[in-house]
Amino acid sequence: MTPLLIGCILIIPTTALLSAAFASFMRRRSIGQQIRAIGPDGHARKIGTPTMGGIVVLAVWILGTATLGSVYPLTLRSAFILASGILFAAIGAADDLISIRKRRSLGLSPLQKIFLSSLVTVALFFGFSAVFKTPLRVPFSSLNVTLPPVGSFFLAWFVFLATTNGMNLTDGLDGLASGTTILILIGTVLLSPTLENIAITVPLIAALIGFLWVNAHPARLFLGDVGSFALGGIVAGLAIAGGSTLLLPFLAGIVVIETGSVILQVIWLKAAGRRLFKMSPLHHHFERETKPMGDYVLPAPAWSETAITTRFLIIEALFLLLAILAGR
């Protein structure tokens, strides 16, 4: 374990320094985040903040994992997780580049994201077919179930699609997606403390801790869709490879809540003609600077951005403990 600890000690400051340098590079070229016109008023100050910082996190993680590969040889499952992160990062990068080039918040359309995510899932399914045969752990029991190939594919397709888009929705406040992912990864290690899992997961935890140096409020660099899609792909890949897909709703509780709030908002608006939340995803409902776009049902406390992020991470920590209990 000593090489892994030394590697992490090096990864954290390296990611922080490279992220700061990348932010300066993007700022000098006036390449920054575009914000939805209908978003919270306070988010206007975020316009132009350098984005695509996920490239740094991904690059350091890949380099760190490859370097440690001489001590902890990469396995088929490790390669699958790396491939999941890289391929979904490519989708996110395309989304970011379109957004930056056209100077708008919308990059790829939802249908384009679904199509590209489906292609990636197909490629991973046929490229790493053995990984998809991993038995699934049933929450709150000692049972393991093995799905037929068709069932494994469609479950994986749903998990990849839901997790990447859910992480993208969660990445709406400074440090929220990074902090949430750190907790999810810690939970993944605790659920499956094998050397194989530790060697692929811990370097990413270290890289995200280093990234928080510039991503904490007020953020000087955003993950961008390249980062949120990569993290979603990695989290989904870890769940599939570790047979913990059915535990993922517990482990990634905040991501589920954020995604669910968007779905509920649409359903409630169409059914009742009014909004359930002041704004979705849920973190916007609690923001002090969010102005309502119309009548809404649930009370909305006026919290600061840092308070929301901190409280959401506390809730995610509780979900982590619940996931460990469910996976015992």
Cβ proximity of 278 and 272 under 8 Å: no
Split at pLDDT 50, 70, 90, the class of 4 is confident
239 Cβ contact partners less than 8 Å away, ≥ 6 residues apart: 159, 163, 188, 245, 247, 248, 251
Report if residue 318 sits inside a domain.
Answer: no
- The predicted pLDDT at position 34 comes to 61
Mean pLDDT, all residues of the chain:
92
Long-range CB contacts (< 8 A, 24+ apart) of 139-144? 139/246, 139/247, 139/250, 139/326, 139/327, 140/325, 140/326, 144/243
pLDDT band at residue 37 under the 50/70/90 scheme = low
Neighbouring CB atoms inside 10 A of 273's CB total 9
CA–CA dist 33, 52 (Å, integer): 9
Residue 86 lies in a domain: yes
Task: Tell me the percentage of the chain whose pLDDT exceeds 90.
Answer: 76
Of 266 and 33, the structure prediction assigns the larger pLDDT to: 266
**Helices 305-326, 253-272: crossing angle, 10 deg rounding:** 110
Going 155 to 90 to 179 to 172, the CA torsion angle's sign is negative
Work out the pLDDT band at 56, boundaries 50, 70, 90.
very high
Distance of CA 181 to the CA centre of its chain: 6
Is residue 210 very low, low, confident or very high in pLDDT (cuts 50, 70, 90)?
A: very high
Distance CA 137, CA 245 (A): 8
Mean of pLDDT values over 131-138: 95
| Number of neighbours of residue 55 by Cβ within 10 angstroms | 21
Does 150 reside within a domain?
yes
- The reply to whether 321 falls in a domain is no
Report the Cα 213 to chain-centroid distance in Å: 18
Residue 8 vs residue 181, higher pLDDT: 181
Q: What's the domain range around 234? A: 2-248
Residue-wise pLDDT for 157-203, tens only, equals: 999 999 999 999 999 999 999 999 999 999 999 999 998 999 999 99
pLDDT of 43 reads 58
**For the chain, how many structural domains are there in total?**
1
Does residue 272 form part of some domain?
A: no
Burial 115-147 (b: 16+ CB within 10 A, else e): ebbeebbeebbeebeebbebebbebeeeeeeeb
Residues 223-282: tens digit of each pLDDT = 999 999 999 999 999 999 999 999 999 999 999 999 999 999 999 999 888 899 988 899
Q: Which of 84, 129, 77, 88 is nearest to 241 (CA)?
A: 77
* Domain-embedded: residue 280: no
User: For residue 99, what pLDDT is reported?
Assistant: 87
The first and second tokens of residue 296, run together, are 């809404």
What pLDDT sits at residue 35? Answer: 60
pLDDT value for 77: 95
Question: In 3D, which of 148, 131, 46 has the Cα closest to residue 81?
Answer: 131
pLDDT at 224: 94
Quick one: average pLDDT of 12-31? 93
107 pLDDT band, cuts 50/70/90, is confident
What per-residue confidence (pLDDT) applies to 301?
Answer: 87
The four Cα atoms 196, 200, 206, 210 give a dihedral, to 10 degrees, of: 180
Q: Considering only 39-53, 228-242, 282-296, which range has the smallest mean pLDDT?
A: 39-53
Do residues 53 and 230 touch, judged by C-beta distance below 8 A?
A: no
pLDDT for 325:
96
pTM (2 d.p.): 0.94
Domain assignment present for 19? yes
Residue 32 forms part of a structural domain: yes
